Amino acid sequence: MNTIDDKKLDSSFVEEVRNTPGGEKIVDCFACGTCAASCPVREFDERFNPRKIIHMVLLGMRDEVMNSDFVWLCSGCVTCQERCPQGVTITELMMALKNIAVKHNIVHPAFSMQAAEVYRYGRLYEVGDLNARREKIGLPRIPEEPDDIRTILDDTGVGKIAREVIGTSD
């Protein structure tokens, strides 16, 4: 990574994070590194380092954080959050960063794909033909009625992301 360009730092970034559910406590971080030491993803992928991501946000490195794959690499295991001595809700903070990225039209394809599946079926996977197999082994049919879910997703802007994926795949 190149050194920081002071002119590109954006002090509004940390405020946006603090105002997003999950991000409220980010300024309480005292950079002890318990999160990074506990992170099962970081063990195998140096790019994902929660302490570094938190510090980048505090410095205002909006573009570097938002445009990087690594915000999407949190496995959500909650180990760091359980152990943080400062009570920073780190897993929820990572969720907040992803939500902010989406607000700025940056969505990792893995997540827009998931949104599309949920929009299509009301679930992540189509039940479809599996219902016959389910019934054969004595399990009840699962109806697929995604109308309510589509309404929720459309009303929150997720529908647009889902429909873009569906539009390109059909």
Partner 1 sequence: MRYALFLGCSVPTRGLNYELSSRKVAEKLGIEFVDIPEFSCCGFPIRSVNQDAGFTMAARNLALAEKQGLDVITLCSACAETLQEANYIFKHNPDKLAQINKELAKFGLKYNASIEVKHFARLLWEDIGVETIKKSVVKPLVEATVVAHYGCHYLKPSEIYGKFDDPENPTSLDDLIEATGATTIRNYPEKEKCCGGAILGVKEEDTVKMAGSKLKSIVELGADAMILICPFCSVIYEGNQKKAEKEYDMQFKLPIIYYPQLLGLALGFEPDDVGFKLNRIKAKALLEKLGLRKKPAA
Give residues in contact with partner 1 (CB under 8 A): 21-22, 40-41, 43-45, 69, 72-79, 81-82, 91, 95-96, 98-99, 102, 107-108, 110-115, 118, 122-127, 130, 133-134, 137-140, 142-143, 145-146, 148-149, 151-153, 155-158, 161
Closer residue to partner 1 in complex, CB, 55/134: 134
Query: Nearest distance from residue 145's CB to partner 1, in Å?
Result: 7
Cα–Cα dist 157/49, whole Å: 30
For 81, other C-beta atoms within 10 Å of its C-beta total: 20
Three-class SS of residue 102? helix
CB of 8 to partner 1, least distance (A): 26
Phi and psi, residue 144, nearest 5°:
-115, 100
User: Would you say 17 and 96 are in contact if contact means Cβ atoms under 8 Å apart?
Assistant: yes
From its phi and psi, is residue 163 left (phi > 0), alpha (psi between -120 and 50) or beta? alpha
Nearer of residues 22 and 60 to partner 1, judged by Cβ: 22
- Min dist. Cβ of residue 144 to partner 1 (A): 9
* 27 versus 41: smaller Cβ distance to partner 1: 41
Q: Which is nearer to partner 1, 2 or 169 (CB)?
A: 169
Q: List, in order, residues 6 or more apart from 79 with CB less than 8 Å away.
A: 38, 39, 40
Q: Which is nearer to partner 1, 26 or 118 (CB)?
A: 118
